[in-house]
Amino acid sequence: MSTLEIKDLHVSIETEQGTKEILKGVSLTIRTGETHAIMGPNGSGKSTLASTIAGHPRYNVTSGTITLDGEDVLAMSVDERARAGLFLAMQYPVEVPGVSMTNFLRTAKTAIDGEAPKLRTWTKDVKAAMEKLRIDADFTQRNVNEGFSGGEKKRVEILQLELFKPKFAVLDETDSGLDVDALKVVSEGVNRAHAEGNMGTLLITHYTRILRYIKPEFVHVFVDGQVVEEGGPELADRLEEEGYDRYAKGAGAATIAAADAAVQG
């Protein structure tokens, strides 16, 4: 069993207006086998948390720690984190021109496992995983994410999740922009990854819709760079009905505006 532990994390970014603190003391502990949902208004810092875990150079950790089974994640480079078993399904997956999906998947798998996958079984595995996620076979010939629709990009993120078999997966709004069928297909993919091995999941979402398919044990409410409430799945339903207004009092007017946006978006 593995544990991903985030303790009192403070993160800031450099903007044209100067340094801006986005995460203001986040603590979270996830163990393999668990699913945690994070819900919160736009701009509250959910993607910042996800990107910081993955090691995006934009985000500066000013204090706090992230450890994976006691190992200091913050001391690892981006690729080391991935090889240590962390996976981020991005809110906006990046298009990488000139690099084919086949080449990319094989190179990444080789890096993560420390050895090249057996060609025959690998090709079969990729094909099977793609079929289950209803991704066309010709996607392997296309360049990474290039020209993929929003929903296709999300499916390809989950394809990687299934193929790379991480210890912890952070899914940043993987459900946004998916049609009803795709939502089901993608959720099944996540559940397969869960069932198969030892994986813990941090699911960032705005909608309870996906929670019909992926059942979190824990729900964390994220407002203005902090976890303001924690509970079980019932908390998600309550949020859906009441929005984030009741957290806004302490957090100020900006958060109320952001909460409105979340309801519309």
Partner 1 sequence: MTAEITTEKARIGAPSIAGFTEEGEGLVAAKVDHTHNHGVTVMSSRAERLTSFNVADFPLPTGREEEWRFSPVRGLANLLSDTATDLDPVPAAGYTVEAPEGYVRAPLAPGAAPRGTALVPADRAAVVASANTDEALHVVIPAEAEPAEPLRILVHGAAAGHRSNAHFVLEAGANSRSVVILEHTGAADHNGNLEVIVGEGAKLTVISVQLWEDDAKHLAQHDAQVGKDAVYKHIAVSLGGSIVRLNSNVRFSGEGAEAELLGLYFADAGQHLEHRSFVDHNMANCKSNVLYKGALQGKDAHTVWVGDVLIQKQALGTDSYEKNQNLVLTDGCRADSVPNLEIETGLIEGAGHASSTGRFDDEHLFYLMARGIPEDVARRLVVRGFLNEIIQKIKVPALEERLTDAVERELAASEN
Contacting residues toward partner 1, per CB under 8 A: 54-57, 77-79, 81-83, 88, 90, 93-94, 96-100, 103-104, 107-108, 111-112, 143-144, 160, 164
Taking CB under 6 A as the rule, does residue 54 contact ligand ATP?
A: no
Closest-approach residue to ligand ATP (CB): 47
CB of 243 to partner 1, least distance (A): 32
Residue with Cβ nearer Mg ion (145 or 176) = 176
Number of helices (H) and strands (E) in the chain: give both, helices first.
9, 10
Taking CB under 5 A as the rule, does residue 47 contact Mg ion?
A: yes
Give the Cα separation of 254 and 181 in Å (integer).
Answer: 35
Report which of 236, 221, 227, 250 is spatially closest to residue 7, judged by C-alpha positions.
Answer: 227
Residue with Cβ nearer Mg ion (86 or 262) = 262
CB of 263 to Mg ion, least distance (A): 16
Q: Which of 47, 160, 187, 205 touches ligand ATP (CB under 6 A)?
A: 47
Give the Cα separation of 115 and 193 in Å (integer).
Answer: 21
Residue with Cβ nearer partner 1 (55 or 216) = 55
Contact 138, 152 (CB under 8 A): no
Output the DSSP codes for 91-138.
SSPPP-TT-BHHHHHHHHHHHHHSSPPPHHHHHHHHHHHHHHTT--GG
Look up residue 33 and give its DSSP letter: T
Q: Which does 88 bind (CB under 5 to 8 A by kind): partner 1, Mg ion, ligand ATP, none?
A: partner 1
